[in-house]
Structure 1
């Protein structure tokens, strides 16, 4: 794997945050570590998660990476301007607006801008002018896809395309080639996970039919916005768990493969999502026993 996954969430999901990465006791540290291992294999996993600006109401102007083709956030790119900012936690919607010439900045500084800071401001203004226009849609996350619609993950079919001599058959069903769409949403081993996922949320069964559908926030519109966001975030954790489950099967002992296939991933999803969403993201509040039976009841 968001997207997610959320994270896939926070400024850049923590992939560029050394403090998070060094915290070996953190649950998210394990996700970050897994992503960086994929990076080392030459697959740009960490950078494949990008912010998609809608109304700019949930994206940090200075801490999130939201401008197209950017690899750093604005506080890192323009530290002098960051030092002069009156509201360092301001949102995109609080600092830019649509104009006839693209996005236009609305600034609030602690002191007058001059010298090198003025040059920085001109460069910043040019950058945001070329940025995405605000809309009435919610901000979201995107997981970049190849032109053929497949994730840039080292699935067996992708490895064959890269010239690696390996059997492309899915390690779970052992019936069809393992590409990203098959692995995450179409395999007879993962389809029941999605069915159980929607049942757990007491929602109509809406199993994604492809990868874009699986990462699209509208797939999880089942009620109020706060519930939709938490369900969307939980779906990202499910995607990550499917990938981890797959790797455990592929790289683990052969004599344990059937036991791995028989694992109940929903148990892990309930535990990990409760820990992460309550402790790190503060998106839910309440006891685990309530979360595992009715997650909507804990959404803040």
Structure 2
């Protein structure tokens, strides 16, 4: 009665009245159920007579074992329920998850941005992070509040400016600190971007700055390096007490970009790091 034979609950939790009158509390199913399943024989040790309601519960309990038979010579084993043969495979798990999925239609621009994102050669954790960013699925403070994890409004403020609640749009694109970061990055690129652009549009416009036939895989590296490091700095401010500083963050962004870029063009990249910091576009074109 104390084992999980049915779903995620034990029989003693499903039928507490019966459990209270069972004399042997740790009785096993194999000790109570005998026979071959077609003609089950039940053995109970009640401490007192069952009421009418409890007798009905007993009928329900025994009904759960209709057609069930115990094989005393066989050991217990795990069985993967979603597959008819009881064996777990990645394919069967994938199929099972697809059956459970909830269809959510995405904007065409979001899909376009995601397609470009997955073609970028960056560490997988960065791709997954920015994929969540484009879908507004990051664990921001606003998200925690929506799920009831953070309940105080004092806990929702952006860690950089403390002026608004921390959601994706504000944190990455509207916060004064983040705007300052983007302005320095754009200055490094030698270009500018219209104000008020956010999310997937911001991502796609950044790609247009490097729209070159032979540089398709690096078009979004600057954007990915910027968002990734802004988020990392946010976590360091929260958990380590770091200070928000645009100039030091820009150095980290440049370093990440160069590391990812050289992974693609290692044999062709010989320009010293200081030159990359001064004129990014010229260095890319010369590679």
Relative to the length of structure 1, the TM-score reads 0.48
Greater helix fraction, Structure 1 or Structure 2: 2
Instruction: Report the structure number with the largest CA radius of gyration.
Output: 2
Structure with the larger RCO, 1 or 2 (CA within 8 Å, 6+ apart): 1
